Structure 1
Amino acid sequence: MAGSVFGNILKCTTWGESHGPALGAVLDGCPAGLAIDEDYIQMFMDRRKPGQSDFSTKRNESDKVMILSGVFEGKTTGTPISLMINNNSQISKDYSNIAECYRPGHADYTFDEKYGFRDYRGGGRSSGRETAGRVAAGAIAIKLLSEFGINFTTFVESVGDISIDYNKFDKNEISNNKLYMPDKDAAEKAAEYLKNVSADKDSSGAVVKCIIDNVPAGLGDPVFDKLDARLASAIMSIGAVKSFEVGNGKAVSKLKGSENNDEFYIDNGEVRKRTNNSGGILGGISDGSSIILTAAFKPTPSIYKSQKTVNNKHEDIELEIKGRHDPIIAPRAVVVVEAMSALVIADALLMNCSSKLDNLKKIYEV
């Protein structure tokens, strides 16, 4: 299978399946000397792990991460960092009734068409559990970026048709509710909505927003490796994401140029923008403003309602899915969006070292 490696200099490879003995990631290209340990990475794993609330799968995984290589005496060595998370709570028999049929909204049919074979236990590589490795690797990228003052604010902006009120935005509230919403009132309404959705054996979609502050101007390249193109690739690679936006996103189609353009001004000798409709990226290159990303997640396709589908014998059937599934994906995906964004920004930061001669001279003190 191709396509399990992401990045140019900072390369992340994920491996493993939902119901295999373990899964994880290998992060290559991380500079030596970065202080990192399992406890730091575990903070991010705990944000993603299942069983946290009524709004996540009841699969009881600790998601305990182990660093197998690339770190010595608490610091990265510059060699590949291998990260492993054991699977301890697989109940593969829950999936025996889908071995020969295709679940609506899942990759079952497309996997069969591509490979002629699939791991039907929880979806194998197409399972959302694959993102555990991404989060482990992304945590290291986040730590690297923190060395440069770059930080992330990532949250659920809406659940179904319930959106946060930005006049009530409270960053501290994000970690105070299990839906990771920065508006307490909206979180309470969304929780009630999800209880009703779950009672009806259904699921809900949602929107996640990521704001990246203190990104220096000049990251990204102007053609195929545009920073927004790389971010789009990273976020759209998360299984349940169906749309991606930067800044004003699709709303720009309703604006005039005079409304959408961000005017520049000088502030103490620094170039600033009066607005940030561009979302911090111009011409594929960061402009020094906050980078603002939005990702729309589809409803969890595994629902307990009876659904019409077909089997691999091309027979029409009805299917009732068993197992343990999230009624909403987005709360546990908040940290996945953050991790993937960090891998892109960190990779761009490393690539920028060779963008001009002055940068190389600084590195080699010429």
Structure 2
Amino acid sequence: MSGNTFGTLFAVTNFGESHGPAIGCVIDGCPPGMELSAADIQPDLDRRRPGTSRHVTQRQEADQVEILSGVYEGRTTGTPICLLIRNTDQRSKDYAEIAATFRPGHADYTYLQKYGLRDPRGGGRSSARLTAPMVAAGAVARKWLRMQYGTQFRGCMQQIGDVAIAFEDWDHVHRNPFFAPVADVSPLEAYMDGLRKSGDSCGARVRVTATGMPVGLGEPLFDKLDADIAYAMMGINAVKGVEIGAGFASVTQRGTTHGDSLTPRGFRTNNAGGVLGGISTGQDLEVSIAIKPTSSILSPRETIDVRGEPATVVTKGRHDPCVGIRATPIAEAMLALVVMEHALRQRAQNADVRPPLAPIPGAC
């Protein structure tokens, strides 16, 4: 009920605060017998961690993961897996001046109203730092799904602020700090440099996909696969919108083009984003998320203090001018956790089902 656990059969309970001694998660329900070590998890954490370029927060966290339980002699035991990530570069003094005011766009006001007290250091539980344990848990899910079905997850930046990014090739994504699918990121660098100098921030749009999807994951009513994907993506800090497949472009499409025609060789299109009636089609899952501008900026803004009096706030410290830059591995992880949950549900309920028709994934 407290909202710290994601999933049921593959349940991930997230713990810690941005400026506490450590953050982490407990994974309950991972199938036993899978080979697992920190080396399976660390690469995804390295992609998300801060301080990797001048365009993101300069907080220097190694984000080294420790496996405290649930693995014996290199294999998962079926018991809870505890993953720990120690915080090593906290600067709590950066938040001393704003402890008595509410930062516009932050959860300061709502946390205080809900709990009666709040941790102002880096946002406490509302900090994007708490996405790191979800990335770690997602790495475990990704490995199991890859071994079981061949499912792969990848994402890329589609837009930063006013700058749209045309898709060139997936190979470019891991070669630049923006996760951009283009060879030349100099326009993005210039845009971000100007933004940082102005003391402002911007939003972003990120695309994430899952390939090699099995058919039949999801439920027909309240636990639709696409509904759970939207729920998961909206659980990522700063996400304000989610699109599945054609998304809002569906508004201007006609039924003659939006419906994905089937042929003996496969679907002709994928406007549905890989989900029909809440159930996976075997096509690629296609998801896009909209991320709001970073709320922690140097520009002075109007607010009130804890007494309700007018105040002006300037947020100092080390902050991402665009939180969307590091969101790609987070979105990939959350998509993997949703697919993992539904894969275990499908295995539990319908393992004996023999479909009368061979799968026809993909677009011909």
Equivalent in the alignment of 2:226: 228
Of the structure 1 ranges 154-163 and 239-248, higher mean CA displacement relative to structure 2 is found in 154-163
The residue identity in structure 2 corresponding to 1:94 is D
Equivalent in the alignment of 2:304: 310
Equivalent in the alignment of 2:192: 194
Equivalent in the alignment of 1:172: 171
Structure 2 gaps, min length 5: 355-364
Give the conservation status (yes or no) of the 8 Å contact 2:243–2:287. Answer: yes
Alignment of 1:102-121 (within 5 A): 102-121=102-121
Equivalent in the alignment of 2:275: 281
> For 1:122, what is the secondary structure of its paired residue?
helix
Give the conservation status (yes or no) of the 8 Å contact 2:158–2:204. Answer: yes
> How far does residue 216 in structure 1 lie from its aligned partner after superposition?
1.0
Q: Distance in 1 between matches of 2:100 and 2:216?
A: 51
Give the conservation status (yes or no) of the 8 Å contact 1:299–1:329. Answer: yes
Alignment of 1:45-124 (within 5 A): 45-124=45-124
> For 1:69, what is the secondary structure of its paired residue?
coil
Given candidates 294, 300, 305, the residue that maps to 2:294 is 300
Alignment of 1:105-184 (within 5 A): 105-147=105-147, 148-166=149-167, 169-184=168-183
> How far does residue 325 in structure 1 lie from its aligned partner after superposition?
0.4
Q: Distance in 2 between matches of 1:138 and 1:126?
A: 19
> For 2:264, what is the secondary structure of its paired residue?
strand
Give the conservation status (yes or no) of the 8 Å contact 2:6–2:12. Answer: yes
Q: Deviations over 1:193-234 (max 9, x none)?
A: 011000101111111101110101100001110000101110
> For 1:184, what is the secondary structure of its paired residue?
coil
Q: Distance in 2 between matches of 1:340 and 1:20?
A: 24
Equivalent in the alignment of 1:204: 202
Q: Distance in 2 between matches of 1:301 and 1:236?
A: 17
Give the conservation status (yes or no) of the 8 Å contact 1:25–1:84. Answer: yes
The residue identity in structure 2 corresponding to 1:160 is G
TM-score by length of 2: 0.95
Given candidates 296, 321, 329, the residue that maps to 2:323 is 329
> How far does residue 306 in structure 1 lie from its aligned partner after superposition?
1.0
Q: Distance in 2 between matches of 1:123 and 1:297?
A: 18
The residue identity in structure 2 corresponding to 1:204 is C
Structure 1 moving runs of 4+ over 6 Å: none
> How far does residue 188 in structure 1 lie from its aligned partner after superposition?
2.0
TM-score by length of 1: 0.95
Give the conservation status (yes or no) of the 8 Å contact 1:27–1:82. Answer: yes
The residue identity in structure 1 corresponding to 2:339 is I
The residue identity in structure 2 corresponding to 1:14 is N
Q: Distance in 1 between matches of 2:40 and 2:75?
A: 12
Alignment of 1:214-293 (within 5 A): 214-267=212-265, 272-293=266-287
> How far does residue 41 in structure 1 lie from its aligned partner after superposition?
0.6
Aligned length, in residue pairs = 353
The residue identity in structure 1 corresponding to 2:204 is A
The residue identity in structure 1 corresponding to 2:182 is D
Q: Deviations over 1:119-149 (max 9, x none)?
A: 0111100000011110111110011111120
> How far does residue 354 in structure 1 lie from its aligned partner after superposition?
2.9
The residue identity in structure 1 corresponding to 2:89 is S
> How far does residue 98 in structure 1 lie from its aligned partner after superposition?
1.1
Q: Deviations over 1:13-58 (max 9, x none)?
A: 1000000000101111010011111012110110111100011111
> How far does residue 314 in structure 1 lie from its aligned partner after superposition?
0.5
> How far does residue 359 in structure 1 lie from its aligned partner after superposition?
4.7
> How far does residue 320 in structure 1 lie from its aligned partner after superposition?
1.3
Q: Distance in 1 between matches of 2:351 and 2:309?
A: 64
Give the conservation status (yes or no) of the 8 Å contact 1:217–1:288. Answer: yes
Q: Distance in 2 between matches of 1:82 and 1:357?
A: 29
Give the conservation status (yes or no) of the 8 Å contact 2:209–2:332. Answer: no
Given candidates 352, 355, 366, the residue that maps to 2:349 is 355
Give the conservation status (yes or no) of the 8 Å contact 1:353–1:359. Answer: no
Give the conservation status (yes or no) of the 8 Å contact 2:56–2:321. Answer: yes
Give the conservation status (yes or no) of the 8 Å contact 2:203–2:293. Answer: yes
Q: Distance in 2 between matches of 1:162 and 1:191?
A: 11
Q: Distance in 1 between matches of 2:111 and 2:87?
A: 23
Report the identity percentage.
46
> How far does residue 357 in structure 1 lie from its aligned partner after superposition?
6.3
The residue identity in structure 1 corresponding to 2:132 is A
